[in-house]
Amino acid sequence: MGPLLSTHPVLRRHFGAVAALTVSLICSLLVALAFVLDLDGAELALLAFAYPLLVSVPAAAVMLRNSRIRETFELHENGLAQVRDGVRQAWTWDRVRAIDLTPRGADLVCAVRFDDGELVRFSGMDTGDSLALHDALAEHCLDALTQRAVPERRGPAAGAMAAITLAGAGGAGLALWLFSRTGELDGARHFGLAMIAAAGCATAIVTGIPLIAVLRATRPD
């Protein structure tokens, strides 16, 4: 690997995890209020806030777990090393097979695939002096920039999210239309249609936001 030129610690931020936890707590409180308030049955509409919990709770758990991982990249004269939770892996420059550079707002995410199948990622916002890593990869592994490190999988994911979003929006729209067309029906029937509309809207919002993010994301060259 040659002499060590520099080290680049990864400093993961907790903002995303805190935001997901905040959403989870607010939605949990609203769901709990559905069992406490008495608004002639209308309070049960708060149960629709259980849908965002299906996304925010797992997201918070994953981001909190990742934020606890200690990681450092080592730039050597003849290669790159990664120390992750005390486990060190090292690769020489000739073992780099593919590099993806993906803009993400003002940040740049780099994914590097090695000949043993290992994939490492680092970004400018989280990794100290990541520009030195980019320069070293460009200098020693220029051919790898023409290969894909991460297979393109956004197509199926976007299709699935689009189908769920359309189903939720369509169900909500149909329920609202039936609600407006019904005459003198019992309160239970009206309440059921209102709950279907609320559930459909919540589903469309929960899947629609990441769908927009996927569709707006810049594809790497």
Per-residue model confidence as pLDDT tens digits over 156-196: 767 777 888 888 888 888 877 877 776 555 566 667 677 77
* Predicted local distance difference test score (pLDDT) of residue 114: 92
The domain made up of 4-8+71-146 has a fold known as PH-domain like (2.30.29)
pTM of the predicted structure, to 2 decimals: 0.57
The lowest-confidence range among 15-19, 71-75, 90-94, 125-129 is 15-19
Mean pLDDT of 51-68: 79
- Domain residue ranges in the chain: 4-8+71-146, 10-66, 154-216
Place of tokens 């000949």: 115
Residue 218 has pLDDT above 50, yes or no: no
Nearest to 218 by CA among 104, 107, 65, 109: 104
Phi, psi at residue 100, to the nearest 5°? -115, 130
Give Cα separations from 84 to 32, 87, 151 (angstroms): 40, 5, 24
**Most confident residue range from 36-45, 130-139, 195-204:** 130-139
The lowest-confidence range among 49-53, 107-111, 151-155 is 151-155
Q: Could you tell me if 114 and 96 are in contact, meaning their C-beta atoms sit under 8 angstroms apart?
A: yes
The lowest-confidence range among 4-13, 38-47, 190-199 is 38-47
Q: Residue 12, exposed/middle/buried by CB under 10 A (0-12, 13-18, 19+)? A: middle
Residue 8 has pLDDT above 90, yes or no: yes
Average pLDDT, the chain: 80
